[in-house]
Every structure is written in C-alpha cells, then in structure tokens.
C-alpha cells in the first residue's frame, strides 16, 4: 500500500481475511485502500464491517482507530456508536481519556468530551493538551472568560509547546501582556517553520485589537510571507487547467433536446466555500412523482 500497489495490497488483505475473518485491522486497511483508489462506497463498507466486529472487550485505542476511520469517511453516527463501547468508569481506559475527549470533540459531542477531560485532569493525563481542549470547547460554548483561563493554564502552568493555544487566546479578547509574550516567542525559534505563521497571526490579532495598526500589519505581512513558503500556488498552472477543461469539452454535442446519461453526466456545484452548497439531495427516481 505504501508503494502505491493498491491492487496487490487488496489481494493480500483478502488472503488475510480468509485466514482471519474477524481481523479488524485488515478491514481498516481495506477501507483505506479503497478510499485511495477512489472507491468511496467500498471504503465505507469495510469501515462499517470493522465497526461491526468491535465489542466491549476491545481496548480503547482499538475502538478509537475504527471511530477515527468512520469519522474520516463522514460516518459520524457510526463513529459515535463505536465510542459508546468504552466505559468512562473503567480504570483501564484512564490512559486514553484525552484521546477519547478529543474524538468526542471532533464529533461535536462536547458534553461527553468534557466528561473525559475531567477524568484526564483528575489523573494528570496530557495536562497541557487537556487544558487547551477544554479552552477550545468553552469557546464553542461562548464562555470566553473560561476559555481564556484554560488556555493560559495550558501555556503557563503546563508549558504547552504548541502554537495553537496562543492563536485561540487571540480570539478571547486582547491583552497587552500576551503581545509581549508573542513578540518574544517569535524570536525564540521554539516553533517549527509551518507553525510560525500562526504565531504571527495571533500577534496580528492582539495588536490590531489595541489599535496598533502599523505593527499589526507588519505581523500579518510576516505571517503571509511565511505561509506563502509553505503553500504552492501558480495562477498560470490554474489557468492552464481550466483551458484544458474547456478544450476537452468544446466538441460535446449538448442541446436542449439531448437526453443526458444520468449515470455518467457530470454535475457542477457552484457556491461559496463552507456554504453548504455541496449538500444536495439525490436526484429523484425515474418516473417518480
């Protein structure tokens, strides 16, 4: 699979399943193989088969892998059903408390995410990440004061090395003390190159909130320059792609009286990003009213 030989990998997985039909890991590999091959329905099929093989005897990390796979495929309800197999009252699951909370948060079940975070904090599991995730959830609830408290705790008390709590804090209102801290961090070489832009974005937000316009725009410009180094984009290449699409379709015979082949006709969905325009209903069944 890692070498791109998907057909051979699928054959080997099929052989494994003949010997061990209850192997969850192999079914997840099959799901990944079909997904990479563009066969989405088959990818979902094998992920759901993996879910069906789970039981309360599986360890929390085994369940999480299946849940994450289902969530990646958009099967959120099935992903949540997986997590129901893991009891928060069983001591064996304490080491996975933060990971469980993170998965519940990704699936928008904030109440249960907070329950698992409380367990993680009680047993000192991933304290920096636990405080950061709680701060993020409080932000979703609109509790900016609570969010700020948790994020500061993550940075100051638990020495969180990530840039993400700094970026989140910039959305909780502005503070002069955070500006000085962010300025020092930009000089410390503490963060990886792909993290630095977000540190400057946070600095921009804090400076802009206090009306330090010139400094704010300098920070934003620095963030944009760093981000540009990480993202490849060519307007010439994009224009060339559209020209090829036009050339490939200019000889199609499409008229008002032409009946399209519903099995192969392309559908173009045009809309603003994240606007929900891709959530279109299926076409009606033929001859239906």
For residues 212 and 131, membership in a common domain is answered with no
Query: Is residue 246, in this structure, part of any structural domain at all?
Result: no
Asked if the model's pLDDT at residue 260 lies above 60, the reply is: no
The two structure tokens encoding residue 59: 């360890």
Which phi and psi (to 5°) does residue 98 adopt?
A: -65, -45
One domain for residues 194 and 153: no
Mean of pLDDT over the chain: 89
Q: Which of 21, 55, 86 is the last residue of a domain?
A: 86
Domain boundary among 241, 259, 279: 241
H or E element in which residue 111 lies: helix 110-122
The predicted-structure confidence for 115-168, as pLDDT tens digits, reads as follows 999 999 999 999 999 999 999 999 999 999 999 999 999 999 999 999 999 999
Contacts of 123 (CB under 8 A, 6+ apart): 94, 97
In a domain, residue 225? The reply is yes
> Which tokens belong to 210?
């206090």
* Percent share of the chain, pLDDT over 70: 90
Q: Which is nearest to 140 in space by CA: 178, 174, 111, 179?
A: 111
Asked, for residue 149, whether it belongs to a domain, the answer is yes
Distance CA 115, CA 94 (A): 12
pLDDT-based confidence at 258, cuts 50/70/90? low
Burial label, 166 (beta-carbon count in 10 A; 0-12, 13-18, 19+) = buried
User: What number is the average pLDDT over the span 67-86?
Assistant: 96
Quote the number of domains for the chain: 3
Comparison of pLDDT for 272 and 23, the residue scoring more: 23
pLDDT band (50, 70, 90) for residue 278:
low
In a domain, 18, yes or no: yes
Q: Residue 281 gets which letter from DSSP? A: P
pLDDT of residue 188: 84
Flag the least confident range among 48-52, 68-72, 276-280, 282-286. 282-286
11/114 Cα distance (integer angstroms): 43
Verify that 25 and 102 share a domain, yes or no.
Answer: no
Contacts of 278 (CB under 8 A, 6+ apart): 269, 271
Residues 197-251 have pLDDT tens digits of 999 999 999 999 989 999 999 999 999 999 988 888 889 999 999 999 888 887 7
Question: Looking at residue 45, which CATH number applies to its domain?
Answer: 1.25.40.10
Distance between CA atoms of 212 and 210, rounded to whole angstroms? 6
93 with 147, same domain?
Answer: yes
The pLDDT score that the predictor gives to residue 257 is 59
pTM of the full structure: 0.79
Judge if 58 and 42 occupy the same domain.
yes
Q: What would the mean pLDDT of 67-96 be, rounded to a whole number?
A: 96
pLDDT tens for 31-54 read 999 998 888 999 999 999 999 999
Structural domain boundaries enclosing 205:
174-241
Neighbour-count burial of 12, counting CB atoms closer than 10 A to its CB (0-12 exposed, 13-18 middle, 19+ buried):
middle
What's the pLDDT at 288? 42
Note whether residue 271 is domain-resident.
no
Rounded Cα distance, 150 and 134, in Å: 7
Query: What is the per-residue pLDDT for 289?
Result: 42
End residue of a domain, out of 86, 110, 134: 86
Q: Among 79, 78, 118, which Cα is nearest to 101's?
A: 118
In angstroms, the CA 258 to CA 130 distance is 59
């Amino acid at each position: 699979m890692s070498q791109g030989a998907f057909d051979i990998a699928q054959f080997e997985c099929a052989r494994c399943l003949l010997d061990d039909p209850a192997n969850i890991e192999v079914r997840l590999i099959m799901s990944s193989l079909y997904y990479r091959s563009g066969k989405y329905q088959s990818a979902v099929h094998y992920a759901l088969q993996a879910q069906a093989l789970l039981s309360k005897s599986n360890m929390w990390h085994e369940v999480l892998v299946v849940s994450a796979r289902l969530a990646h495929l958009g099967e959120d309800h099935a992903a949540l059903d997986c997590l129901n197999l893991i009891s928060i009252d069983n001591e064996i699951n304490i080491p996975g408390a933060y990971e469980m909370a993170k998965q519940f948060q990704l699936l928008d079940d904030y109440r249960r995410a907070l329950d698992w975070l409380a367990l993680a904090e009680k047993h000192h599991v991933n304290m920096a990440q636990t405080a950061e995730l709680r701060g993020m959830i409080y932000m979703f609830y609109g509790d900016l004061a609570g969010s700020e408290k948790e994020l500061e705790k993550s940075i100051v008390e638990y020495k969180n090395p990530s840039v993400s709590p700094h970026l989140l804090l910039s959305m909780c209102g502005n503070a002069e003390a955070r500006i000085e801290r962010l300025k020092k961090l930009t000089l410390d070489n503490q963060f990886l190159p792909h993290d630095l832009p977000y540190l400057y974005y946070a600095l921009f937000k804090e400076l802009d909130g206090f009306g330090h316009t010139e400094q704010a725009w300098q920070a934003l410009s620095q963030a944009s320059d760093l981000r540009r180094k990480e993202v490849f984009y060519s307007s010439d290449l994009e224009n060339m792609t559209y020209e090829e699409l036009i050339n490939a379709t200019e000889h199609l015979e499409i008229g008002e009286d032409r009946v399209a082949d519903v099995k192969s006709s392309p559908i173009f969905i045009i809309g603003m990003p994240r606007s929900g325009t891709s959530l279109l209903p299926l076409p009606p069944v033929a001859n239906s009213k």
